Amino acid sequence: HRRHAGSPDRAHPPSAGQEGLGDTLSVCRDPDDDEVLALAIAAQADLIVSGDNDLLALQQFSGIPILSPAQAVALVGTIGKT
């Protein structure tokens, strides 16, 4: 069963110490990337795929893995294989 970004069955509330979506997040080295993280939470994303080194340095955010495009392709290639 694949979940899409808007799946209601997967929530990623901000962890302790993180601001809510109505507030300004300040997590990433590049403040512009904090908007991407806030959007991922709002969309209840299962995964963030980015080539941005500042986002990739986090590795995950609020339980959401942050992968490079190559890592995401490798992950997708393993879905359904045993």
Sign of CA dihedral 37, 42, 46, 50: negative
pLDDT of residue 82: 63
pLDDT digits (tens, 9 = 90+) for 9-58: 334 444 433 444 445 567 888 888 999 999 999 999 999 999 999 999 99
**Would you say 7 and 42 are in contact if contact means Cβ atoms under 8 Å apart?**
no
Q: Which residues contact 56 (CB under 8 A, 6 or more apart)?
A: 50, 66, 67, 68
Owner of token pair 């709002």: 42
Q: What is the number of H-type helices and E-type strands within the chain?
A: 3, 3
